[in-house]
Amino acid sequence: FGEQALRGKKVVVSAGPTYEDIDPVRFIGNRSSGRMGFAVAEAAVEAGAQVTLVAGPVSLATPAGIAKRVDVRSAAQMHAAVSEAVQGADIYIGSAAVGDYRPNTVAAHKLKKHDGADLTLQLAENPDILASLSAKQLHPFLVGFAAETQNVETYARDKLQRKGLDMIAANQVGEGLGFETADNAITLYWADGSQELPRADKAALARQLIECIASRYKAVRG
Ligand code: PMT
């Protein structure tokens, strides 16, 4: 990044999973380790950006040069933290795997088994962080991620449009790629274009991703 493609830009990155509590000892989560998002945040710092990192429950050290890290647990907490962090920001990159649903109620005490009977959890839909940002008149350049196991382009383009995004980074999950892994492979889509970033370790991939985001950002926002 000799040219510091994001110099002076304010960038917010979300990373990791969210945990939706069921009772004091159980939760609904997912397999995101935060590695992709932390690599993206680090690459944005290298590109000269002032970076706020909103992290779900992960066990990763804060990359050097991050201006601010906010740790959250649930999707609701991530929503609140991101909404605050994006004020005055130029770019938001949502690499977090946000839980789509949360238990309707969180039990005050540990749930007990009842003689082999089924247990039914009622789930309520979480608000979509990206969609809530794009619904506002003034919002940062929005980059989403899409983790898919099939029909990657169709689902990614649908999310690009439905969530009102500027770009989406789609990754096929499986075969040593995506969640928890060292490597990833991404295809970036925007309204009238796409770019493939072939399999590489997440740090290398994040640098290429940030380069593409910076060049689209310049094309769209000047
Ligand atoms: O953390 P790692 O182990 O390194 O793995 C990286 C990753 C696979 C988690 C990452 O590369 C990735 O793909 N992240 C998005 C995973 C995902 O679950 O996407 P989604 O299809 O549920 O959501 C699409 C987009 O909407 C994402 O940008 C997500 O942050 C956003 N979203 C989703 C739900 C919600 N309530 N609010 C959101 O903003």
Q: In order of start, what are the domains of the chain with their CATH numbers? A: 10-99+121-221 (3.40.50.10300)
CA of 43 to the centre of ligand 1 (A): 18
Average pLDDT over residues 44-52: 98
Task: Say how far apart CA 111 and CA 89 lie, in whole Å.
Answer: 42
Q: Which of 130, 149, 127 minimizes the C-alpha distance to 140? A: 130
Q: Which of 72, 78, 92, 95 to mutate to test the pocket of ligand 1 (most atoms within 8 A of CB)?
A: 95
For ligand 1, say whether the CB of 126 is within 6 Å of any of its atoms.
yes
CA of 31 to the centre of ligand 1 (A): 11
Write down the pLDDT at residue 122. Answer: 97
Write down the pLDDT at residue 1. Answer: 46
Q: Band of the pLDDT at 53, cuts 50, 70, 90?
A: very high
pLDDT tens column, 70-120: 999 999 999 999 999 999 999 999 999 999 999 999 999 999 998 889 999
Q: Using CA positions, which residue lies closest to atom 27 of ligand 1? A: 145
Consecutive H or E run containing 12: strand 10-15
Write down the pLDDT at residue 2. Answer: 52
Asked whether the ipTM of the predicted complex exceeds the cut of 0.85, the reply is yes
The identity of residue 191, as a single letter, is A
Write down the pLDDT at residue 204. Answer: 97
CB neighbours of 12 closer than 8 A, spacing ≥ 6?
Answer: 51, 52, 53, 54, 82, 85, 86, 89, 91, 92, 93, 140
Write down the pLDDT at residue 149. Answer: 87
Write down the pLDDT at residue 173. Answer: 87
CA of 30 to the centre of ligand 1 (A): 10
Q: Would you call 218 exposed, middle or buried from its count of C-beta atoms within 10 A (0-12, 13-18, 19+)?
A: exposed
Q: Where are the alpha helices (DSSP H) in the chain?
A: 35-46, 75-85, 129-134, 152-162, 202-221
Specify the DSSP class assigned to residue 156. H
Task: Say how far apart CA 81 and CA 76 lie, in whole Å.
Answer: 9
Average pLDDT over residues 155-174: 95
